[in-house]
Amino acid sequence: MTAVPRVRARVRTRKLGAVDGDDLVDDARDTGIPPRAAASQKSVLIVDDDEALARVLGKVLAAAGYEVSTAHDGTVAVEQIVRRTFDVIVSDIELPGMTGIDLLRVVRAYDLDVPLILMTGAPTVATAVEAVALGALQYLQKPFPNDVLLKAVEQASRLHRMAEIKRDALQVLGEVNNQAGDRAGLEVRLKRALDTMWMAFQPIVDTVSRRVFGYEALMRTLEPSFPNPGAVLSAAERLNRLGDVGRRVRTLSAGAFANAPPDTLLFVNLHTQDLLDPTLYEASAPLSKIAGRVVLEVTERTALEGVKDLQARVSILRYNGFRVAIDDLGAGYAGLASFASLEPEVVKLDMSLVRNVHQSAVRQRIVGSMVSLCKDMGMRVVVEGVQVAGELATLSSLGCDLMQGYFFAKPGPPFPVAKGFA
């Protein structure tokens, strides 16, 4: 990176808004930074309700070779951001109608990577912490010297380019990632994911009675930056909003299941943190109203140690009418802790054990032993991920009667018809 010399000391000691614009342009030229060639010119949006200051900052940056646009409030800024892309945005924190931090959240709805530099004449520790936490690249205190502004914008421009290159690299490698890297962008996209969330259902079939035993509700969203449920949960965990996701899933699942075929059960996945949510236990909650038909799946992939009074919580759920299942058995934590704490009515064997079970003697011994032990303990067993006829035949010979997988039906809108089952 080209070193940026300091400008004359008299400028560093003045408030930018009080300095003549032409003097500042001269100072910018004195830094020795050559104007950029038109082909590599970078665009900067300056947002400040002090129009004189915005003009001054614009002249400083234009003299250094940047293409500059200005906006005097957040609404005008958003209108410009929607119409075109910028390499860097420099915004005051206090704006008419919205703050610079609010603007950052809006920006991330349109541009995942553009860096935002916030500036203020009345800094506070709380505001600075919030700005950085949300993803503001820098936090400048007015007045600041020209070289501080130029260095900040230059660094932001380079980092923006690096972010673009990284996304190009992910595409070349086949790992397309449309997620924002900062908290503000993640908040915007999680909100979209929650707003567009819907529940797909996959049937669980009883191969002995040849009927549909139940349906598992599976989270889906129209938000393209979250291509799978794991991406939604990962974002929610970063934002400490797992509870919001869990409540949305339970509400949507209950609503859709109102039209389910009679005498079928609803299987709903719980994150470990959902067990700490008071609304899970409320009798007025949508899922509680149909608790007698609901099996709550708790995965073995996450530890349960963080849930205090786990057995008491599970007892309340059972008192309310719910049944409990251990999900992903065989792919999570070893040991007996989950069985002892949850005492599940249903156990779901992970698809990693099911895959090609007809071709693996080792898998057959493991699955057979698990099924036998679970039945001895009075638990129903569901095997997940059945895809081919060979797996179906082998699992049936091992005593498995409840099965789920693409062989019967893919997840879809309520309610997919299972192949060969009423």
In this structure, the strands spanning 265-270 and 211-220 are parallel
Q: What is the side-by-side order of every strand in the sheet holding 138-141?
A: 67-71, 43-47, 88-92, 116-120, 138-141
pLDDT-based confidence at residue 132 (cuts at 50, 70, 90): low
Cα–Cα distance measured from residue 128 to residue 118, given in angstroms and rounded to the nearest whole number: 9
Query: Which region holds residue 317: left if phi is over 0, alpha if psi is between -120 and 50, else beta?
Result: alpha
Q: Tokens 């090609």: give the residue.
A: 356
Q: For the chain, how many helices (H) and strands (E)?
A: 15, 15
| First-last CA distance in the chain | 68
- Mind listing the pLDDT tens digit for each residue in 334-393? 445 567 678 889 989 888 888 999 998 988 988 888 888 888 888 899 999 999 999 999
User: Could you tell me the pTM of the whole model?
Assistant: 0.66
Query: What is the residue extent of each domain of the chain?
Result: 9-172, 186-403
Element at 248 (helix H, strand E): helix 242-257
**Predicted confidence (pLDDT) at residue 164 exceeds the cutoff of 80:** no
Number of neighbours of residue 47 by Cβ within 10 angstroms: 27
Specify the CATH class of 186-403 in words: alpha beta
pLDDT digits (tens, 9 = 90+) for 272-304: 889 999 999 999 999 999 999 999 998 766 667
Inter-residue contact 387 to 407 (CB < 8 Å): yes
Q: What is the pLDDT of residue 404?
A: 95
Name the band, by pLDDT with cuts 50, 70 and 90, for residue 36. very low
**What does the DSSP assignment read for 147-213?**
HHHHHHHHHHHHHHHHHHHHHHHHHHTT------SSHHHHHHHHHHHHHT-EEEEEEEEETTTTEEE
* pLDDT value of residue 5: 31
Q: Domain 9-172: which topology?
A: Rossmann fold (3.40.50)
Looking at residue 299, its pLDDT comes to 79
Q: Is the pLDDT of residue 400 over 70?
A: yes
The stretch 159-176 carries a mean pLDDT of 64
Lowest mean pLDDT among 33-37, 72-76, 243-247, 382-386: 33-37
pLDDT score of 26: 41
118 pLDDT band, cuts 50/70/90, is confident
Give the pLDDT confidence score for residue 287 in this predicted structure: 96
How far is residue 79's CA from residue 276's CA, in Å, rounded to a whole number? Answer: 42
- State how far Cα 404 lies from the chain centre: 27
| d(C-alpha 401, C-alpha 379), whole Å | 12
